[in-house]
Amino acid sequence: MQITNNKNQINFAGIHILNTRCLSRDNKITRLKVFELTREDMPFLQQMYRNIELEKYVTNIPPAKMEVWYTMLKETINLSGANANKSYLLAKGKRPCGIITFEPNSNKYEITRVCTWPVKKREKVPLAGKTLFKTAFEDFLKSSANIITIDAIKNGPYDTVSKYMQLGFKPMGGGNFIEVMRTTRTAVIQTLQKLNSLITSKPTGKTENVNLFEKLSI
Q: How confident is the model at residue 148 (pLDDT cuts 50, 70, 90)?
A: very high
Q: What pTM, to 2 d.p., does this model score?
A: 0.92
- Residue ranges and CATH numbers for the domains of the chain are 2-215 (3.40.630.30)
pLDDT over 60 at 9, yes or no: no
d(C-alpha 10, C-alpha 187), whole Å: 41
Residue 172 C-alpha from the chain's centroid: 22
Give the residues across from 115 on adjacent strands. Answer: 99
- Within 10 Å of residue 215's Cβ, how many Cβ atoms? 16
pLDDT tens-digit map of 160-169: 999 999 999 9
What Rg, from alpha-carbon coordinates, does the chain have?
17
Identify the residue with better confidence: 2 or 168.
168
pLDDT value at 189 more than 80: yes
Q: Number of H helices and number of E strands within the chain?
A: 7, 11
* pLDDT over threshold 80, residue 207: yes
Residue 8 has pLDDT above 50, yes or no: no
Query: Measuring CA to CA, which residue among 176, 146, 147, 141 is closest to residue 161?
Result: 176
